[in-house]
Amino acid sequence: MPESLTLTDHQAIQDWASARNGSPAMVSTSAEFDEVPVLRIVFEPEVYPDVDQPLDAGGLEVVEWDEWFRVFDEQQLVMLVEKEQPGRLDAYYQILKA
């Protein structure tokens, strides 16, 4: 089983996502405004799955890092990723409560 790393540093998370062409996104879980969105990292071409489909289709919205990290910090979350191995760039991640 691959070794995992726990990321909390904003720059480390951005660097990890950037190395994999990832973008910050949120998924609405409810029509209620007080519900906390689910954080995701979306990867090309998932960010633009269909030219005719808007980015927020299905509740998925690509957002700015500042907004993503605001929710990340407010919810006291951590990001679990696999430790990088030479010659392999894995895009597996989990966002968990600290």
Say which residues have a Cβ less than 8 Å from residue 50's Cβ, sequence separation at least 6.
none
Total of domains in the chain = 1
| Type of residue found at 53 | Q
Strands of the sheet with 93-97, listed across from one edge: 4-7, 77-82, 93-97
**Contact in structure between 98 and 78 (CB atoms under 8 Å):** yes
From first to last of its 98 residues, the chain has per-residue pLDDT tens of: 578 999 999 999 999 999 999 999 998 776 666 678 899 999 876 555 554 444 444 578 899 999 999 999 999 999 999 988 887 888 899 999 99
16 burial (CB, 10 Å; 0-12 / 13-18 / 19+) is buried
Residue 33 has what pLDDT?
64
